[in-house]
Chain A
């Protein structure tokens, strides 16, 4: 949302290095699912702060509403229904961008500066630079960014980069009534997460775990999962990663190899012409040999 600043450390499809002199505190949002009561205050706060209004949908037989993330719904409480020990339970996921340290969306994006990463770790889309190709939606291991049908731009959670930039916590965190959401430095959030884990294990959730996946370099939204051995049950990939296809497709090496191939064809043509000259029809009477 916000424009390029000195705090941008990584930009999509740029040939130049962004300014690196300043560095700010690395931040993170902590989501402790064990404390979530599913009130959806975070969803409302996100809509309020960001001036978003999704279309009013219909009841689809589950408590999740709206049914999916969209250009108007940047965070969504997903009520995954599971039968555990004979009882129906909600494994709630506050879905939305996890702000990867190694973001697949940014790697995939071909539009210079359309996706940026700040030194505080927030990954942000600059919609005015977006060309609507949707490569970010292919690059994201979490299926988060959504292409709008209205303006052909992609939207997702900004981690309230505009609020964070002026020292406020994200709107969702401010609205959370139970302390399931926390915001602070990544270091503090991990420390806090470990505390919550100890508490959870004491309460019988022996498999509780912190979700801060290494495959994407860690994330700036960290989750405490009571059933940490089964992130898939919450709708989270167990081992998210940018993946070899994207690594090859959008790599500097592939780009260099492609451009070198083209250059080689051009150079070969020029050299061949210089060495052999054009193929011309020989003068009349000299047509004994034919190609």
Chain B
């Protein structure tokens, strides 16, 4: 694996959000999490307009088969190094939609996931907490590079 300068991501992670067939509950909470009351910009978190500019992909929803193709494309379009956060019960295991004919039951069936945020839907505080946990994980990775 090439040695990325992970500091760039840790200090200012850009998010891209993709709905793979969620009920919008998680989506409005992701949207609420970037608004002034929760103010994620204190961690340098910013919503990017295109996955090509993003460092972290936030995925919500139960992953329908049609959306799974799109999700793969979007994951490929995101530049390396990239991280994925699965938000909500549906994105983790299919949630209440488990067993339906068009649902793949979980983001990790399609792309690798770094952080899971449970809840139906998780609160904005939980989403920010999940992102910050990922940032700590990135910091650990950085230190690993320094040691070797």
Do A and B bind?
no
Q: B interface vs A, CB < 8 Å?
A: none
